[in-house]
Structure 1
Amino acid sequence: MRDGVTVDNDELLSDVENIVDRGNESYEHFNFLPYAVLIQRDGKVIFANTELRKLLHCNDGSILGKSVVSLLQLERDSEISNSIGEPFGVVEGEYKIKDFASNIFDVDIKCNIKQINSCWYEFFVLRDITFEKKRYNDAIVKAEKYKNILEKLIESKELYKKLINMLPDGISIHDGNTYFFVSESYARMLGYDNPKDLVGKRLEEVLGKENQELKKQRVESLLSEDKMFLRGEYKFLTRQGISKHFESTSLRFLNNNNLNILSSIRDITDKKRVKESRLLLERAIEDDKLKTEFFSNMSHELRTPLNILLSSLQLISMYTDTNEDVNIPSIRKYTSIMRQNCYRLLRLINNLLDITKIDSGFYTLNMRNYDIVKIVEDITLSVAEYIKEKGIEIIFDTDIEEKILGFDADKIERVILNLLSNAVKFTKSSGKIEVSIQALVDCVYITVRDTGSGIPKDKLNNIFDRFMQVDKSLSKRSEGTGIGLALVKSLVDMHGGSITVESEYGEYTQFNIILPAKVLAVEDESDLCPAPINNDLDDKRVERMSIEFSDIYV
């Protein structure tokens, strides 16, 4: 290579001959040549230029006086030996030689013989062709390999086609909009007899309407980023108009400088049906279990107050029938117990009737404009003394003095009383219950928080489900059928609001109610109860409180 350009050995030899023709026998000019030069006279090396010494990793003392044959250890020693002294029979060709560092490499040797001053000189030009030969050999190997691969691909084209058609998954190639190729199994899954009937069709023609937006998002994402979409579920419409479920996997690839998408689909319609059937079965079993537990609890709920009522009546009979002096305090004690258990039965019956009415669509709200702050505050105050007797601190807090909005006061009162009743049930003595109201832009935010036993995380998502009970143990602290919170949620939902719960087991529970801050027009107010509700602590509210708190014992 001369100045970065590969030079043929014939050109190099020509340069050497020009120097020789000038009659300069010092040969120092050869040191300025950018290639290896070796001069031999009478079978012995008399000169090696700088490039030759670099090539062989040696010095003059290692070279001078030796023969080219022994120096280079050429395979065709006899040919070179026979050529000495003759102006013809120049030996040329490619050889493997070993340098003085024991490295073996390929060289191309050009040789010329000249007679100077009655002496025959042999001029050798050596060029390292190791890299060129390796590159050439690699090119040949690659060409052979490519040729073999090409032949195999051509030979196995039909085999690959058959293999694709034999796959259980359907294969298609498209650009996100139009099909370019579909396998026989793909066409068969979609009810087509010939794959060509799908080629050229748009994906929207076979994809369910509910998946159009999902397909668009995934195609855009796939074409913008080199990744694979793992199996996702889609609905396809067959040629017969039947909706079927498929799992699909897609990846992009480059073909003729165009991005295409390869997709595979698998029919999971039957699998989906089996899964849905299994879920329905599991749900039916769970519902049946809940119903069984509900009726078991219901039997207990009905039997317990009835037993207490009967026992109390027997004791009162004993006092009134056998004793002339009636023990009034004892009678009052047992009549109080009877009243509480009557309230329990009434609460149970009311809840059952109301939940049934809601399910049937016959439950209506008496919507009027009230001050929500006063309603919630009065309800809290109405149970404050009772809660304090339990050794529990109760706090009411508000950031507004008044907020008028449309709601059913009786139903909201029932919601708050139910949440307070739950808070008392699960809060030990020395605990705390907080009720707060906060006015937001378009809604009112009500919270009821207690420092009670909390709700396990696995029960939080189901706390508002019908018949759901957090504590199902025989030693539970309070009674219940599991429909109170379900009724609360239904009442809040009917107001267009929402209720959520936060809890840390063993630490606290907080119920959050959001009601829309909408004031009703006069014509929208209900005619069921035109007179404003009495918010004083009257007998009616005391009775409601007694009913809601009837399943709590001292």
Structure 2
Amino acid sequence: MAEQQKEQLETILENMSDSLIITDKNQNILLMNAAARAVYPDPDIFNNMSDWFRMINVVDEEGNPIAMENMPSHRAARGERVRNFRTNIMGPHGLVHVEYSSAPLYDTEGNISMIINCSRNVTEEVRSAQLVSNKHEQLLKAEMEKNDALKKAIKLKDDFLSLISHEFKTPITVIISAIQAMEHLCWEQFSDKARRFIGRIKQNAFRQLRLVNNLLEITKIESGQMKLKNGNYDIIFLASSITESVQEHANQKGLNLHFASPMKSKIMWIDDEKLERILLNLLSNAIKFTPKGKSIFVRVYKTVFDHRDMIALEVEDEGIGISEDKQKIIFEKFIQVDSSLTRQAEGTGLGLSLVKLFVEALDGVICLESYVGRGSKFTVYLPVQQVDLHPTNTQDVQTLDNRLIQSVKIEFSDLY
């Protein structure tokens, strides 16, 4: 029985795919299997592992020479177990990558009697890994080059838009200034027909100015150049004043415009100009797309949103509504709802995109709830932030009033 087991063990060792060499503690070879005999010299000529290592040049994976005493078989002779020790050997057919594992065997008295050495040619594995690594590096380099080219293209686009917008803004401003001068200095000298033509020029000049301003703002935000000019402002006063400033346009369309808030005052640390642009754009859309005789509601109130204390600024209309598929893309650039009513009110599709960018710049969130034929409700959630208790002064209020007059003219140019 024992003899049969011995034969089975010898058969297994002989047919192992890995090279197996058993030596004594002095590196004298006691046994080599078939895989080892195919790789190593004839044991009748080189019967000691040290002789074998003296005749080859062994280096580590970084190309540094490995001293004989640091080879796994010699380390195992000192009682160390070594696993998966990779080496590079220059053989007759070129560079070979070999992985060694060695372990000592002890006799009954605890002394090293034999050393088991296994080795495996891992050249194909190493080459495959290198090919994968090289391919990965090439793909990474190509992706980085693509990203760099994309960044350059985006910067070129932003620079181009900024340049063109500035170039457009100058003549538009001159046109508007000239029209305003005619209105104040010689309006009575024009016929009714001429006044209508001038009014049409003025309306379209404001439209172009709005487009240019929106493009400039989007370019600033996307290039990281926009700066907030925060101050402590009464958001109830701001929202009420902005709503009141568009009352005339609501009246012209036969709409009922309502403002409501349970708070009489609320001082917040905020950029009043950005808030103005947000609310004016939402009101402009509400007035554009709400039929005659319907109502628009503006509400400001405290709430908790996403586990934070917020001020909610709500604009709700009884207009045409927005379909569910359009709601998913309504805040993207150059997107407009496709309907006969929207085509009657001209626009570029930049407004809501800019509103969302402004809201996010103020660390807020904008949400939309809409049903076709019933209307839309835009809710802007802004975090409650305050630095001190001093609200805007009288001079700032006067500046707000003057700026609102001009902003409303520009934002509501489609409704004249």
TM-score normalised by the shorter chain: which range applies? Answer: 0.5 to 0.7
Do the aligned partners of 2:267 and 2:389 also contact (CA within 8 Å) in 1?
Answer: no
Give runs of aligned pairs for residues 30-45 of structure 1, distance below 5 A: none
Aligned to 1:510: 377
Aligned to 1:470: 337
Aligned to 1:351: 214
Cα distance in 2 for partners of 1:530, 1:397 equals 24
Identify which range, 529-538 or 341-350, moves more after superposition.
529-538
Q: What is the identity, as a one-letter code, of the residue corresponding to 1:506?
A: G
Q: CA 1:532 to 1:445, structure 2 compared with 1: closer, same or farther past 3 Å?
A: farther
Question: Following TM superposition, by how much is the alpha carbon of 1:336 offset from its aligned partner in structure 2, in angstroms?
Answer: 2.4
Do the aligned partners of 2:289 and 2:341 also contact (CA within 8 Å) in 1?
Answer: no
Do the aligned partners of 2:235 and 2:266 also contact (CA within 8 Å) in 1?
Answer: yes
Cα distance in 1 for partners of 2:329, 2:219 equals 20
Aligned to 2:288: 425
> Out of 337, 352, 365, which is 1:485 matched to?
352
Do the aligned partners of 1:378 and 1:537 also contact (CA within 8 Å) in 2?
Answer: no
Question: Following TM superposition, by how much is the alpha carbon of 1:240 offset from its aligned partner in structure 2, in angstroms?
Answer: 6.3
Aligned to 2:313: 446
Question: Following TM superposition, by how much is the alpha carbon of 1:328 offset from its aligned partner in structure 2, in angstroms?
Answer: 4.0
Question: Following TM superposition, by how much is the alpha carbon of 1:522 offset from its aligned partner in structure 2, in angstroms?
Answer: 8.7
Do the aligned partners of 1:382 and 1:537 also contact (CA within 8 Å) in 2?
Answer: no
Q: CA 1:512 to 1:242, structure 2 compared with 1: closer, same or farther past 3 Å?
A: farther
Question: Following TM superposition, by how much is the alpha carbon of 1:540 offset from its aligned partner in structure 2, in angstroms?
Answer: 3.0
> Out of 278, 288, 299, which is 1:415 matched to?
278
Cα distance in 2 for partners of 1:409, 1:539 equals 13
Question: Following TM superposition, by how much is the alpha carbon of 1:350 offset from its aligned partner in structure 2, in angstroms?
Answer: 0.3
Q: How many residues align?
A: 253
Q: CA 1:329 to 1:514, structure 2 compared with 1: closer, same or farther past 3 Å?
A: same
- SS where residue 476 of structure 1 aligns? helix
Q: CA 1:326 to 1:516, structure 2 compared with 1: closer, same or farther past 3 Å?
A: closer
Aligned to 1:364: 227
- SS where residue 296 of structure 2 aligns? strand
Q: CA 1:488 to 1:411, structure 2 compared with 1: closer, same or farther past 3 Å?
A: same
Cα distance in 2 for partners of 1:439, 1:543 equals 30
CA RMSD of aligned residues (A): 4.3
Cα distance in 2 for partners of 1:535, 1:396 equals 21
Give me the identity figure in percent: 38
Aligned to 1:497: 364
Q: What is the identity, as a one-letter code, of the residue corresponding to 1:407?
A: I
Q: What is the identity, as a one-letter code, of the residue corresponding to 2:263?
A: I
- SS where residue 439 of structure 1 aligns? strand
Q: What is the identity, as a one-letter code, of the residue corresponding to 1:516?
A: P
Q: What is the identity, as a one-letter code, of the residue corresponding to 1:484?
A: G
Do the aligned partners of 1:446 and 1:512 also contact (CA within 8 Å) in 2?
Answer: yes
Aligned structure 1 segments of 4 or more residues deviating by more than 6 angstroms: 239-243, 472-475
> Out of 248, 260, 264, which is 1:401 matched to?
264
For normalisation by structure 1, the TM-score amounts to 0.40
Question: Following TM superposition, by how much is the alpha carbon of 1:345 offset from its aligned partner in structure 2, in angstroms?
Answer: 1.0
Cα distance in 1 for partners of 2:365, 2:249 equals 28
Cα distance in 2 for partners of 1:486, 1:440 equals 25
Question: Following TM superposition, by how much is the alpha carbon of 1:381 offset from its aligned partner in structure 2, in angstroms?
Answer: 0.5
Question: Following TM superposition, by how much is the alpha carbon of 1:340 offset from its aligned partner in structure 2, in angstroms?
Answer: 1.7
Q: CA 1:444 to 1:535, structure 2 compared with 1: closer, same or farther past 3 Å?
A: farther
Cα distance in 2 for partners of 1:471, 1:440 equals 34
Do the aligned partners of 1:418 and 1:548 also contact (CA within 8 Å) in 2?
Answer: yes
Q: What is the identity, as a one-letter code, of the residue corresponding to 1:399?
A: P
For 1:207-226, what per-residue CA distance to the aligned partner results, in whole angstroms no more than 9, with x for missing partners? xxxxxxxxxxxxxxxxxxxx
For 1:170-205, what per-residue CA distance to the aligned partner results, in whole angstroms no more than 9, with x for missing partners? xxxxxxxxxxxxxxxxxxxxxxxxxxxxxxxxxxxx
For normalisation by structure 2, the TM-score amounts to 0.52
Question: Following TM superposition, by how much is the alpha carbon of 1:410 offset from its aligned partner in structure 2, in angstroms?
Answer: 1.0
- SS where residue 260 of structure 2 aligns? strand
For 1:128-159, what per-residue CA distance to the aligned partner results, in whole angstroms no more than 9, with x for missing partners? xxxxxxxxxxxxxxxxxxxxxxxxxxxxxxxx
- SS where residue 480 of structure 1 aligns? coil
Give runs of aligned pairs for residues 291-440 of structure 1, distance below 5 A: 326-440=189-303
Which blocks of at least 5 consecutive residues in structure 1 are unaligned? 1-238, 244-272, 278-283, 285-290
Question: Following TM superposition, by how much is the alpha carbon of 1:462 offset from its aligned partner in structure 2, in angstroms?
Answer: 1.0
Cα distance in 2 for partners of 1:489, 1:412 equals 11
Give runs of aligned pairs for residues 101-120 of structure 1, distance below 5 A: none
Cα distance in 1 for partners of 2:415, 2:380 equals 24
Which blocks of at least 5 consecutive residues in structure 2 are unaligned? 1-127, 133-138, 144-149, 151-156
Identify which range, 476-485 or 418-427, moves more after superposition.
476-485
Higher relative contact order (CA 8 A, sep 6+): 2
Cα distance in 1 for partners of 2:363, 2:412 equals 27
Give runs of aligned pairs for residues 88-107 of structure 1, distance below 5 A: none
Cα distance in 2 for partners of 1:431, 1:473 equals 18
Q: CA 1:498 to 1:242, structure 2 compared with 1: closer, same or farther past 3 Å?
A: farther
For 1:92-131, what per-residue CA distance to the aligned partner results, in whole angstroms no more than 9, with x for missing partners? xxxxxxxxxxxxxxxxxxxxxxxxxxxxxxxxxxxxxxxx
For 1:295-332, what per-residue CA distance to the aligned partner results, in whole angstroms no more than 9, with x for missing partners? 9xx9xxx9xxx9xx9xxx9xx9xxx9xxxx95444433
Cα distance in 2 for partners of 1:429, 1:490 equals 31
Do the aligned partners of 2:334 and 2:350 also contact (CA within 8 Å) in 1?
Answer: yes
For 1:66-98, what per-residue CA distance to the aligned partner results, in whole angstroms no more than 9, with x for missing partners? xxxxxxxxxxxxxxxxxxxxxxxxxxxxxxxxx
Do the aligned partners of 1:479 and 1:552 also contact (CA within 8 Å) in 2?
Answer: no
Q: What is the identity, as a one-letter code, of the residue corresponding to 1:542?
A: I
Cα distance in 1 for partners of 2:223, 2:407 equals 25
Do the aligned partners of 2:363 and 2:382 also contact (CA within 8 Å) in 1?
Answer: yes
Do the aligned partners of 2:235 and 2:265 also contact (CA within 8 Å) in 1?
Answer: yes
Cα distance in 2 for partners of 1:445, 1:539 equals 26
Question: Higher Cα Rg: structure 1 or 2?
Answer: 1
Do the aligned partners of 1:378 and 1:536 also contact (CA within 8 Å) in 2?
Answer: no
